[in-house]
């Protein structure tokens, strides 16, 4: 396993980019769209009791954790309360359905036109996903007396407003991708997470007179970010040789070349944590509909067991299940992605082979064995990052700061990807054949 070194000039790339007018314009467009996103996050839906909403978020730690990803939009129940997560959900569904449904698989193999069709289907799928999620949020808030009893027309208008907010964020995210820097959807999520950090840190400073525990908490978060960078960039190099025949000057020549296949240790990225979190919070969400404010019942017990802020030993149920699901989904998603890539078939078609390994079935068995071994490292890494907030809270005894492992993965991953894209833009413009 070899970590790819993140070169120091990645930080210098930002300074160099401002010296080039076109890149400077792209950066300003990205910043301007993020400012628009923050304005949208402060536009509330009508008919909401904001005081009751704030009290609900103070009582429910799960909602506070989910609010971090929306940058405070959920806490205000704005039109952007769902963020771009219905689109993310639709994208994951399409990613899993493409290799299963022959028609979608055929469309995905049509090149650029096929990718546009898959993207269009994903956009259409986002609308019902957003409507369903918006309806679920409103029904839940009605059960908590945050929203009063409303008729069908106001309810439909609120759902349409939330769907429109989500689709607007998806649209401005694609504007960032086309006219700005980085992946627009990821930048929108990144902006929402970063926007909530100052308030969260401020609460931590105000809540503790002794800053020793807070300092340790911050050090644990920084160490986790370093670990994320290391495993995000780490890969295993598989040597590959190519032998091909070239007809030149009336004679046949055989040429050989060597390269390598970089198999990422964390092939699955953050997707396993999204799957694992969705499943582990599901029992608590369902139980919240049946919980009793007076005499505790079975639903209250389920909420306690699946409460991310529960202390030992109750917290072991939530975080232990989260740990195991993260490992399981890492292997599941990695195997799906690896099978879709069909590396043995690609090597055979291009005349490449792994030294000492026969092409075909032997190469497939060898690569499957390698990816399974290195995935253990990636799976354990993701599982440890998943339970990092629980470990940090138990060590420092700080409960005010709700640091999310998924949020850290998103922030570090998006920052690395954006800086690399910025550096690639600089390299392209420094190339002597580039036409301004």
The answer on 95 and 202 residing in a single domain is: yes
Note the pLDDT tens digit of each residue in 98-138: 878 888 888 877 777 888 888 899 999 999 999 998 888 88
Which residue from 415, 336, 422, 412 is spatially nearest to 375, judged by alpha carbons? 336
Retrieve residue 40's tokens: 């949208």
Question: What is the domain-level CATH number for residue 155?
Answer: 1.10.3370.10
The answer on 81 and 122 residing in a single domain is: yes
- Kindly list the distances between the CA atom of residue 417 and the CA atoms of 3, 163, 190, 352, in Å, as whole numbers in the listed order: 16, 28, 12, 29
Note the pLDDT tens digit of each residue in 353-406: 888 888 888 888 888 889 989 999 999 999 998 888 888 888 877 766 666 777
Q: What per-residue string of b and e applies to 359-376 under the rule 16 or more CB within 10 Å gives b?
A: eeeebbebbeeebeebbe
- Which residues are within 8 A (CB) of 243 and not within 5 positions of it... i.e. 6 or more apart? 254, 255, 256, 351, 353
The answer on 241 and 139 residing in a single domain is: no
Separation of alpha carbons 353 and 356, rounded Å: 9
Which neighbouring-strand residues pair with 44? 78
The answer on 435 and 390 residing in a single domain is: no
The answer on 100 and 133 residing in a single domain is: yes
pLDDT of residue 160: 92
More confident residue, 417 or 64: 417
More confident residue, 67 or 180: 180
208 φ, ψ (degrees, to nearest 5)? -125, 130
pLDDT of residue 64: 65
Torsion angle in degrees (nearest 10) through CA of 195, 198, 200, 201 = 150
109 φ, ψ (degrees, to nearest 5)? -95, 10
Confidence of residue 292 (pLDDT cuts 50, 70, 90): low
pLDDT above 70 (res 294): no
pLDDT of residue 62: 63
The answer on 244 and 226 residing in a single domain is: yes
pLDDT above 70 (res 24): yes
More confident residue, 420 or 163: 163
The answer on 385 and 240 residing in a single domain is: yes
| Candidate from 48-52, 143-147, 185-189, 198-202 with smallest mean pLDDT | 198-202
Please report which residue ranges of 257-311 form alpha helices under DSSP H. 271-288, 298-305
Question: Which pTM was predicted?
Answer: 0.74
The answer on 180 and 99 residing in a single domain is: yes
Q: Domain count for the chain, please give it.
A: 2
DSSP annotation of 261: E
pLDDT above 90 (res 186): no
Average pLDDT of the residues of the chain: 79
Task: Work out the average pLDDT over 292-310.
Answer: 73
pLDDT of residue 293: 61
Task: Find the domain containing 315 and state its range.
Answer: 209-399
Separation of alpha carbons 219 and 224, rounded Å: 8
For tokens 């399409």, the residue is: 94
Separation of alpha carbons 282 and 265, rounded Å: 29
Contact assessment for residue 429 and residue 20, using Cβ atoms and an 8 Å cutoff? yes
Contact assessment for residue 182 and residue 418, using Cβ atoms and an 8 Å cutoff? yes
The answer on 407 and 363 residing in a single domain is: no
pLDDT above 50 (res 2): no
pLDDT of residue 128: 92
Separation of alpha carbons 246 and 319, rounded Å: 59
The answer on 73 and 203 residing in a single domain is: yes
The answer on 353 and 318 residing in a single domain is: yes
Give the angle subtended at the CA of 269 by the CAs of 337 and 332, to the nearest 5°: 45
Q: How many residues does the chain have?
A: 436
The answer on 215 and 297 residing in a single domain is: yes
pLDDT of residue 229: 86
């Amino acid at each position: 396993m070899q970590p790819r070194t993140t070169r120091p000039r990645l930080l210098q790339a930002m300074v160099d980019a401002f010296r080039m007018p076109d890149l400077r314009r792209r950066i300003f467009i990205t910043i301007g769209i993020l400012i628009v996103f923050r304005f949208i996050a402060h536009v509330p839906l009508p008919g909401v009791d904001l005081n009751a909403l704030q009290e609900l978020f103070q009582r429910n730690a799960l909602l506070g954790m989910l609010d971090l990803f929306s940058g405070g939009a959920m806490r205000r129940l704005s039109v952007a309360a769902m963020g771009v997560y219905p689109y993310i959900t639709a994208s994951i569904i399409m990613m899993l359905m493409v290799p299963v449904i022959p028609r979608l698989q055929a469309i995905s193999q049509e090149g650029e036109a096929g990718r546009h069709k898959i993207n269009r289907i994903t956009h259409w799928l986002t609308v019902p996903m957003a409507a369903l999620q918006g309806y679920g949020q409103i029904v839940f808030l009605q059960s908590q007396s945050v929203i009063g009893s409303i008729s069908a027309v106001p309810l439909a208008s609120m759902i349409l407003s939330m769907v429109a907010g989500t689709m607007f964020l998806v649209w401005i995210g694609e504007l960032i991708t086309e006219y700005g820097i980085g992946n627009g959807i990821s930048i929108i999520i990144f902006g929402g997470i970063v926007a909530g950090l100052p308030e969260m840190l401020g609460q931590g400073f105000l809540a503790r007179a002794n800053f020793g525990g807070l300092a340790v908490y911050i050090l644990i978060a920084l160490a986790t970010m370093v670990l994320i960078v290391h495993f995000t960039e780490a890969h295993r190099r598989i040597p590959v040789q190519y032998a091909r025949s070239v007809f030149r000057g009336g004679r046949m020549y055989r040429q050989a070349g060597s390269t390598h296949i970089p198999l990422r240790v964390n092939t699955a990225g953050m997707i396993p944590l999204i799957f694992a979190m969705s499943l582990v919070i599901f029992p608590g969400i369902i139980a919240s509909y049946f919980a009793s404010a007076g005499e505790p019942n079975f639903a209250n017990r389920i909420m306690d067991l699946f409460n991310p802020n529960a202390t030992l030993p109750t917290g072991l149920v939530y975080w232990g299940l989260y740990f195991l699901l993260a490992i399981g989904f890492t292997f599941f998603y990695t195997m799906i992605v690896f099978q879709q890539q069909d590396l043995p078939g690609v090597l055979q078609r291009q005349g490449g082979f792994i030294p000492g390994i026969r092409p075909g079935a032997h190469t497939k068995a060898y690569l499957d064995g390698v990816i399974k071994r290195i995935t253990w490292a990636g799976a354990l890494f993701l599982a440890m990052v998943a339970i990092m907030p629980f470990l940090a809270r138990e060590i420092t005894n700080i409960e005010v700061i709700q640091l999310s492992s998924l949020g850290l993965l998103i922030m570090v991953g998006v920052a690395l990807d954006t800086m690399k894209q910025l550096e690639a833009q600089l390299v392209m413009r420094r190339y002597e054949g580039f036409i301004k």
